[in-house]
């Protein structure tokens, strides 16, 4: 059963999150708008297309994976991995410091984080909404360093699987990325890092002996409970400082409401999108970063640029959100054929990359697998591969580390 779960992990993540989404959507809490049957049919066919792509490439290989061919504990140098994680955490903190310095330079003082946190947040949103206009160098270099340090989530997860006191150095990643996330008064960076750390830990467990595997999975169950409370607390804190609500009960209610709507609101938001006039983007929505490159090179017209944040639409009588699920990108590019073909390729790619990792352990293979599992998980929110530039940047750095430190990371 354990090995079955490992082999189908991306599919289980994808179907699990969509099962949760539709379960809570059917509760119809907070007067969320109901989508039409035609819109729900598009979701159904898109989900089935993903599953078909994944399962088709599973049929021929599922019994060919050797689950005892490698042992991380025996083959990876824990001291080197420990100091690598520490170094990457320091890089992340340096990046966060430069981001904070940007706020001090732009808004006058560090007190802006306490006095006008919404203004701080809007500062970084404006940088994202104007990708063709260079942001301040402190913010640019700070973002680069945070993205370099993001590799610590992958290496930290592997470190947690090993034995000895040094393994707990992997938890330092949580502290570091909490600071990095708050430097932009946001949650996404932290949630992203927690997911990668958690699933790096889970995927690394696959490459351990059966006795240690069971111990680490029990440990992971305890971490899951703690992680849920931690994420809930962070969500409450961020909403509290970014809202104008004055009572604790009102903040708690708004936290629950917005969490529910970010989970389920993509369904009515996508329905609203389908009921408006729009032009097909022909790849500009799914491959937003690629088209930015083309625009900068003068190959593509600038007016077709897709912004980082989607337009807000009303999903309840009083609340708007701007998340439409991953299907919006595929549909906006090529209509229903985009949803079917794109979802099928999406599922097949998740399978092939995950299968490659299960056959042979490499850090770059782990990074690719984590990226696509995260994309499958965030499919209820948006299409994570939008940010292909950042993803390539992170994976390239992981590959460089693996090449340069291979003689030190891996035992002979």
Helix/strand/coil for 238 = helix
Q: How many CB atoms lie within 10 A of CB 315?
A: 26
Q: Find the helix or strand (DSSP H, E) in which 155 lies.
A: helix 151-161
Q: Against a cut of 0.85, is the pTM above it?
A: yes
Each residue's pLDDT tens digit, 131-160:
556 788 899 999 999 999 999 999 999 999
The one-character DSSP state at 30 is: G
Task: Please state, in angstroms and as integers, the Cα–Cα distance from residue 123 to each residue in 36, 81, 184, 354, following that order.
Answer: 37, 36, 9, 38
- Which residue did the predictor score with more confidence, 61 or 411? 411
The one-character DSSP state at 203 is: H
pLDDT beyond 90 at 289: no
Each residue's pLDDT tens digit, 98-116:
999 999 998 888 888 888 8
Confidence of residue 194 (pLDDT cuts 50, 70, 90): very high
Give the pLDDT score at 335.
87
Tokens representing 333 are 């590019």
Q: How many CB atoms lie within 10 A of CB 277?
A: 4
Cβ(327)–Cβ(314) under 8 Å? no
- Return phi, psi of residue 347, to 5°: -65, -45
Residue 374: closest CA among 150, 173, 140, 220 = 150
Q: Where are the domains of the chain?
A: 1-64+280-394, 71-264
């Amino acid at each position: 059963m354990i090995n079955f779960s490992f082999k189908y992990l991306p599919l289980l993540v994808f179907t699990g999150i969509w099962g949760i989404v539709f379960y809570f959507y059917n509760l119809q809490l907070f007067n969320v708008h109901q989508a039409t049957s035609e819109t729900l049919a598009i979701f159904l066919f898109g989900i089935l297309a993903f599953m078909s792509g994944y399962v088709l490439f599973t049929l021929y290989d599922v019994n060919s994976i050797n689950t005892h061919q490698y042992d991380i504990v025996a083959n990876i140098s824990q001291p080197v991995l420990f100091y690598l994680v520490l170094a990457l955490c320091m890089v992340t903190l340096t990046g966060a410091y430069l981001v904070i310095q940007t706020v001090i330079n732009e808004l006058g003082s560090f007190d802006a984080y306490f006095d006008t946190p919404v203004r701080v947040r809007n500062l970084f949103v404006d940088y994202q909404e104007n990708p063709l206009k260079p942001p301040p160098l402190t913010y640019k270099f700070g973002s680069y360093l945070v993205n370099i340090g993001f590799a610590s989530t992958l290496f930290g997860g592997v470190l947690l699987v090993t034995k000895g006191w040094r393994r707990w150095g992997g938890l330092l990643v949580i502290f570091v990325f909490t600071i990095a996330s708050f430097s932009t008064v946001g949650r996404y960076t932290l949630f992203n890092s927690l997911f990668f750390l958690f699933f790096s830990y889970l995927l690394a467990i696959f490459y351990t002996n059966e006795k240690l595997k069971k111990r680490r999975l029990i440990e992971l169950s305890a971490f899951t409970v703690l992680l849920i409370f931690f994420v809930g607390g962070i969500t409450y804190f961020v909403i509290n400082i970014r809202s104008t609500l004055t009572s604790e009960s009102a903040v708690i209610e708004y936290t629950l409401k917005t969490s529910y709507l970010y989970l389920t609101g993509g369904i009515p938001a996508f329905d609203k999108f389908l009921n408006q006039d729009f032009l097909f983007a022909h790849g500009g929505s799914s491959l937003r970063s690629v088209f930015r490159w083309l625009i900068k090179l003068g190959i593509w017209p600038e007016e077709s640029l897709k912004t980082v944040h989607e337009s807000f639409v009303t999903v309840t009588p009083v609340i708007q959100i701007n998340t439409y699920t991953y299907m919006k990108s595929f549909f906006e590019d090529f209509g229903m054929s985009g949803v079917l073909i794109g979802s099928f390729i999406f599922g097949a790619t998740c399978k092939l990359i995950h299968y490659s990792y299960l056959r042979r352990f490499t850090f770059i293979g782990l990074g690719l697998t984590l990226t696509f599992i995260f994309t499958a998980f965030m499919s209820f929110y948006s299409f994570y591969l939008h940010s292909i530039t950042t993803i390539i940047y992170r994976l390239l750095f992981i590959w460089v580390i693996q090449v340069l430190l291979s003689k030190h990371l891996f035992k002979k």
